[in-house]
Amino acid sequence: MTGGQQPVFGPSRFAWADLDRDSARSLWTDLTTWVDWFRERYQPGSKITPCWYRHGAVVEELTALMAAHKAVYVVDRGVPEPWTENLTAWHTQWMRSAVDAVARLLADCTDQHCAHRPHPPKIATDLGGFIRDDIARRPAPNRGSTP
């Protein structure tokens, strides 16, 4: 920063614990779309079971993997790309280790059975219901004050 300005820090748009309802809805949309694409493209099989969204740690791992993927593959077209090493690094350093971590976290789950025991014990029976419940628990967006 120049001119004596101090940096302003705040949570990233990927910080689940700090999201309001609108931000959570947006991130759930991005993440579910990305995970569907990832599962189709990379065919991780049973390493990412259909119940992945019920497991908080898995959601965090996949969110981080998606953010890293976006950092490499979604670029400013006006800036020259030093992309070759980053593309390889995403695959060798980030993707493989994240998928291994997710597989360990989902080790007791199968395509037909989710072994996750949430606290509290109430759980939505479908992804849409789960996301609606998650969004409803979050604070309303801060729209600023009105005169």
Q: What does the alpha-carbon distance between residue 136 and residue 129 come to, in Å, rounded to a whole number?
A: 10
Q: What is this structure's pTM?
A: 0.76
Predicted confidence at residue 71, as pLDDT, reads: 87
Q: What is the chain's mean pLDDT, rounded?
A: 87
Predicted confidence at residue 147, as pLDDT, reads: 45
Predicted confidence at residue 115, as pLDDT, reads: 93
Compute the 3-state secondary structure of the chain and give helix, strand, coil in percent, each to the nearest 5. 55, 0, 45
50: which residues sit within 8 A by CB, 6+ positions away? 111
Quick: pLDDT tens for 29-66: 999 999 999 999 999 989 999 999 999 999 999 999 99
Class of residue 116 by CB neighbours under 10 A (exposed 0-12, middle 13-18, buried 19+): middle
Buried b (16+ CB within 10 A) or exposed e, 25-42: bebbebbbebbeebeeee
Predicted confidence at residue 81, as pLDDT, reads: 65
Select the more confidently predicted residue: 100 or 6: 100
